[in-house]
Amino acid sequence: MIELEGLTKRYGETLAVNNLTFTVEPGVVTGFLGPNGAGKSTTMRLVLGLDHPTSGDVRIDGRHYDRLRNPLTSIGALLDAKAVHGGRSAFHHLLCLAQSNGIPSARVHEVLDTVGLTAVARKKAKGFSLGMAQRLGIAGALLGEPRILMFDEPANGLDPEGIHWIRTLMKSLAAQGRTVFVSSHLMSEMALTADHLVVIGQGRLLADTSMADFIERNARSYVRIRSPQRERLLDLLHGAGVTVVESGGGVLEADGGKAELIGELAARHQVVLHELSTRHASLEEAFMRLTAESVEYHAHSGTPLGTWTRRAARQEWGGGRRKGA
Ligand SMILES: Nc1ncnc2c1ncn2[C@@H]1O[C@H](COP(=O)(O)OP(=O)(O)OP(=O)(O)O)[C@@H](O)[C@H]1O
């Protein structure tokens, strides 16, 4: 496990990591989410002793990184796929890592095979695509068969087959009882991969909870309804105590889990429905809502995402036109 206690890192005026306390448990994939500049990479560097905390503490299975005898056999990490000596082949890069960590060289062939780089093992790393470099970084992380794995944006540069592969790999590592801590901006991918989430914004902890709980708490499931007899339907729903939001374009949204009730009500009163569909909240919606106030970098042309998010959140959670109970 990885344990953080009051972990804080300041770079001059910037408080990159602000009093983080959480534990990354074994046996599950823990997703580490946050907007750009939230402090994810800094946190991971602190875990690996690549940076020193301003205050607080981080331990790997109860020890500081610099007290681990052969670190690669305790924790394997991929932080920056391009941080490889470009003149070395994939094979030699991994061999150097193995030799300096007391890992048998036979393991190099195994991990090359696991990540699908055997055919290019003798090619120099500087000629690798980002996707190949990611795979090489993952091979390095797996080399010492560590109990703990930490990946910073592992799907970066991977094609759909590669993304599917990394998802399966992470799940199988967790199923073996290992600790898997992974950051990503790919919300749909995270939703399929992670069991648990740690979310930070501007260095601070925003959530530390299961995926299901995170979505339930931070986003809303609803039933989407369209009807040519909208006013009649609104009256019926109002009478039945169903909370309805008018979302524009003649679409009504009723709070979750009531599709059957609405369908039966409409049938009983011979109200025609053109659409009745349950919409499940997504991780992306939940993430955007939770982090809307801590997004540091916005685009200011086209559709400004942060502004849109805040406005949408306000409408959805307070200022929206609501009808019914
Ligand atoms: N070595 C450094 N010197 C000064 N400031 C730094 C340094 N490293 C990180 N920062 C600052 O700390 C904050 C957190 O950065 P960090 O890279 O950890 O965020 P992140 O969540 O990984 O972002 P991203 O999702 O964009 O990769 C940012 O404001 C960044 O500019």
45 Cα nearest atom in ligand 1: 18
Start-to-end CA distance of the chain, whole Å, equals 47
The pLDDT tens digits for 244-274 are 988 888 899 998 668 999 999 999 999 999 9
Output the pLDDT for position 306: 34
ipTM of the complex: 0.97
Nearest CA to ligand 1 atom 1: 11
More confident residue, 129 or 43: 43
CB 140 within 8 A of CB 78: yes
CB 143 within 8 A of CB 72: yes
The pLDDT tens digits for 63-120 are 999 998 888 999 999 998 777 787 889 999 999 999 988 899 999 999 999 999 999 9
Output the pLDDT for position 301: 43
CA distances (Å), origin 245, targets 126, 216, 252, 292, 320 = 55, 19, 6, 22, 7
What is the CB < 6 Å shell around ligand 1? 11, 14, 16, 34, 36-42
Q: Can you tell me the distance from the alpha carbon of 96 to that of 271, in angstroms, rounded to the nearest whole number?
A: 72
The pLDDT tens digits for 266-322 are 999 999 999 999 888 889 888 888 888 766 655 544 333 333 333 333 333 333 333
Q: Can you tell me the distance from the alpha carbon of 200 to that of 241, in angstroms, rounded to the nearest whole number?
A: 37
Q: Which of 163, 214, 181 is nearest to 75 (CA)?
A: 181
Burial 37-63 (b: 16+ CB within 10 A, else e): bbbbbbbbbbbbbebebeebebbbeee
Q: What single-letter amino acid sits at 171?
A: K
Q: What single-letter amino acid sits at 123?
A: K
Nearest CA to ligand 1 atom 30: 37
Q: What single-letter amino acid sits at 191?
A: A
Output the pLDDT for position 93: 93
Distance 40 CA to ligand 1 centre (A): 8
Q: Can you tell me the distance from the alpha carbon of 307 to that of 292, in angstroms, rounded to the nearest whole number?
A: 8
Phi and psi at residue 46, to the nearest 5°: -65, -40
* Mutation to probe ligand 1, out of 40, 152, 204, 297 (largest number of atoms < 8 A from CB): 40
Distance 60 CA to ligand 1 centre (A): 22
Question: What domains, with CATH codes, occur in the chain?
Answer: 2-210 (3.40.50.300), 221-280+314-323 (3.30.70)
Residue 243 falls in which region: left (phi positive, over 0), alpha (psi -120 to 50) or beta: beta
Q: Can you tell me the distance from the alpha carbon of 84 to that of 124, in angstroms, rounded to the nearest whole number?
A: 10
